[in-house]
């Protein structure tokens, strides 16, 4: 199974400041079709997860441009350019290159 | 709009079974796999398996093989997941989600295993 490792596991950020979350996979997520199957989700308190970023760097419909994804191979990063109060929750990366799909442990973001 | 609506919360005793439903609407039901993911209290997301609504074929995470069965009812656009021989550590919120990209997700179903 592909192991997904996120750091940090928790993050406390002042509104307006940037934040960054790292996700590393135990093997490359690059498929032979040229796509890299790495996704980012945010689970706000009391809600199901919601898709933020697909295939490393593509913002999903309606996701503010404060969110950006980058990386390649085994190293990926989610960046928030300016954290807002509404951004609190659990951020998780996921790989869908191969079954079983696997998630990172999650990063809990809170506001200072 | 594309929507997945799950059945309500359940309380079960250890050793019992639970069956959770996920009703799809707003898209071609047989066109997308449905995945099940669970989240135990204070823990991250855990992939359980997926089912092809068209064929009924399912693939399970090794951890759940033999204890989880996913089925489909194309007449009602509903996916079911049954977990048998429940243990205390099966207490979790269970979500269904549509492939591709895992969007949308169902609202979640809390399953509590308690004696």
pLDDT at A51 exceeding the cut of 90: yes
Residues 55-114, chain B, touching A (beta carbon < 8 A): 59, 61-62, 95, 97, 99, 101-103, 105-108
Rounded to the nearest angstrom, the gap between the alpha carbon of residue B44 and the centroid of all alpha carbons in its chain is 16
- Tell me how many degrees the CA angle A33-A34-A36 measures, rounded to the nearest 5: 105
CA neighbours closer than 13 Å in the CB half-sphere of residue A71: 28
Percent of chain B surpassing pLDDT 70? 100
Q: If DSSP codes are grouped into helix, strand and coil, which group holds residue A9?
A: coil
Residues A84-92, mean pLDDT to the nearest whole number: 97
- Which helix (H) or strand (E) segment holds residue A70: the answer is strand A67-72
Residues 6+ apart with CB under 8 A from A3: A25, A26, A102
A19-49 per-position pLDDT tens digit:
999 999 999 999 999 999 999 999 999 999 9
Phi, psi of B53, deg, nearest 5? -65, -25
Complete edge-to-edge strand list for the sheet that includes strand B34-39:
B10-12, B109-113, B92-98, B34-39, B45-51, B58-60
Tell me which of B100 and A23 has the higher pLDDT.
A23
Mean of all residue pLDDT scores within chain A = 97
For A51, the closest of B45, B101, B107 (CB atoms) is B101
- Which helix (H) or strand (E) segment holds residue B48: the answer is strand B45-51
pLDDT at B82 exceeding the cut of 90: yes
- Residue B109: pLDDT band (50, 70, 90) is very high
A59, closest residue in chain B (CA to CA): B101
- Residue B100: pLDDT band (50, 70, 90) is confident
Query: pLDDT at position A29, please?
Result: 97
Phi, psi of B6, deg, nearest 5? -100, 165
For A51, the closest of B59, B102, B106 (CB atoms) is B102
DSSP letter (8 states) at residue A60: P
């Amino acid at each position: 199974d592909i192991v997904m490792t996120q750091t940090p596991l928790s993050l406390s950020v002042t509104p307006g400041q940037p934040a960054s979350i790292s996700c590393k996979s135990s093997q490359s997520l690059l498929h032979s079709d040229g796509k890299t199957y790495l996704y980012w989700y945010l689970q706000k308190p009391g809600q199901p997860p919601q898709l933020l970023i697909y295939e490393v760097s593509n913002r999903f419909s309606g996701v503010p441009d404060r969110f950006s994804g980058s990386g390649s191979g085994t190293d990926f990063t989610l960046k928030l350019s300016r954290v807002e109060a509404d951004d609190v929750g659990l951020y998780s990366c996921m790989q869908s290159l191969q079954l079983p799909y696997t998630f990172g442990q999650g990063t809990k973001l809170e506001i200072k | 709009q594309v929507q997945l609506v799950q059945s309500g919360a359940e309380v079960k005793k250890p050793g019992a079974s639970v069956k959770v439903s996920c009703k799809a609407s707003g898209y071609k039901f047989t066109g997308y796999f449905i995945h099940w993911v669970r989240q135990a209290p204070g823990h991250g997301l855990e992939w359980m398996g997926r089912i092809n609504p068209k064929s009924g074929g399912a693939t399970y995470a090794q951890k759940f093989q033999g204890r989880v069965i996913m089925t489909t009812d194309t007449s009602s656009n509903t996916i079911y997941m049954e977990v048998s021989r429940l243990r205390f550590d099966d207490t979790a919120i269970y979500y269904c989600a549509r492939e591709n990209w895992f969007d949308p997700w169902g609202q979640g179903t809390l399953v509590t295993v308690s004696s």
